[in-house]
Amino acid sequence: MSLLLSSFAALADRLGLSPDSELLALALTHSSYAAEHHCQSNERLEFLGDAVVDLAVADLIVRDYPQLNEGASSVARSRVVNEASLARAASRLELADHLRIGKGVVKEQGLERPSLLADAFEAVVAALYLERGYEVAKDFVHASLAQDVANASRLPDTLDPKTRLRQWAEAHGYGVPVYELVARGPSHDTVFEASVRVGTLHASGIGRSKKRAETEAATNAWGQANA
């Protein structure tokens, strides 16, 4: 058995799935590979996994952090169920080693994209959900993101990044932050790049959705404001 196949078997074992699982293989099939090989991609699994991750993280927050009210719980969840956090979880699982991607993405070193890794994590969660049920998928999400949830729940600021930046800008006389959005890539693999200007500050962010891109841009601008 080759080293790659051996490590894939180890990944499947950690997930509690068979190395022969068709759903696991599908979860690790990026749309760029699917377009080149005329097969299904993990996009539908990603869609389902997004909902499962969202519910599982909400469950963890309600169960383990009763001191958080509804607003703080919502903000904590948004700090965890986002591209950067899920990409880190995918990296810890070494999912990039097993993703099937197209030649163009390989050429562009696309495996380094947080969006691609985050989508793969959600797709893997969906595969677990479909094969082994919600409880197993929930436990996996909890184990993967427990520390992220703990960190997010300890942060005192309960405002979402865009609201926080807007309030800061208005307090300093800069008016409302101005966002610009650009979509890049083919329709099956669109990535959004947002930029925001606040006074002399200028920051950008990237995400698979407009909301994620603007949230990342606002977070980066806030970081500049408080550097």
What are the C-alpha distances in Å from 35 to residues 30, 120, 130, 189, 190? Answer: 9, 17, 24, 10, 14
Catalytic residue selected from 50, 119, 148, 214: 50
Q: Count CB atoms within 10 A of the CB of residue 164.
A: 18
Q: Is 22 a catalytic residue?
A: no
**Distance, CA of 219 to CA of 14 (rounded, Å):** 33
**Distance, CA of 190 to CA of 122 (rounded, Å):** 17
Tell me the β-bridge partners of 191: 184
**Distance, CA of 124 to CA of 48 (rounded, Å):** 10
Catalytic residue selected from 46, 83, 119, 122: 122
Residues 6 or more apart whose CB falls under 8 angstroms from that of 147 comprise none
Q: Interior CA angle at 123 toward 16 and 183, to 5°?
A: 160
Residue numbers annotated as active site: 50, 122
